[in-house]
Amino acid sequence: MDNGDWGHRMTSPVTLNVGGHMYTTSLSTLQRYPDSMLGAMFRGDFPTTRDSQGNYFIDRDGTLFRYILNFLRTSELTLPVDFTETDLLRKEADFYQIEPLIHCLSDPKPLYPPDIFEQVVELSSTRKLSKYSNPVAVIITQLTITTKVHALLEGISNNFTKWNKHMMDTRDCQVSFTFGPCDYHQEVSLRVHLMDYIMKQGFNIRNTRVHHMSERANENTVEHHWTFCRPAHKVED
């Protein structure tokens, strides 16, 4: 192959089917990082699979491949301000073995422009459930919302006072309340209502954690924790 043929091959379009999403790019873009999986794949060192239309097929997250491909094109990581799938994108970068992208995703610098920061809401739920009740009964539940967004705390205080069985406190950036006993489905409905209220204020769930433990023979304690985030503009003092 002479240089002219090689140059044509490097710039000719290549179509990929990534998890059902179609992308068209150049061979030179896919080979930008020769030591990556894509570099090896399109160098002929790695086996390839074709779909029924003859397109290269990769069984990975097709939506996130958009950010992979844009990084290959520009060598810069650009994500939306409301992007919430950094952990998943990091796994995709690791799969494709694109070391510069892995480094960018491991860099603690903020993903937002200098005039943007994150507002965070932490929601924790501690529930004691009866083991032997049918249907399952909630013995008691305590919900705690922690955030520096005082307007949200005030909104919760004003809209959810009927849930306040024992405590409602907006000091220390927290609102807490306890209710029960009640039916399990009633408790779930109340919790979903509160989460929906938070998300309607522009917050998105960033991550969740669940912890189960037994304290007594007839009880199960379940702890849930949710982190919500939203971008916001800084206000000058």
Predicted confidence band at 2 (pLDDT cuts at 50, 70, 90)?
Answer: very low
Q: What is the mean pLDDT of residues 97-117?
A: 70
Residue with tokens 């422009």: 113
Q: What is the mean pLDDT of residues 142-154?
A: 89
Q: Which one is predicted more confidently, 213 or 84?
A: 84
Share of the chain above pLDDT 90, in %: 27
Predicted confidence band at 114 (pLDDT cuts at 50, 70, 90)?
Answer: low
Q: Which pLDDT does position 201 carry in this prediction?
A: 93
Q: What is the pTM of this model?
A: 0.49
Taking residue 36's Cβ as centre, other Cβ atoms within 10 Å add up to 21
Residue with tokens 């301000």: 81
pLDDT at 185 over 90: no
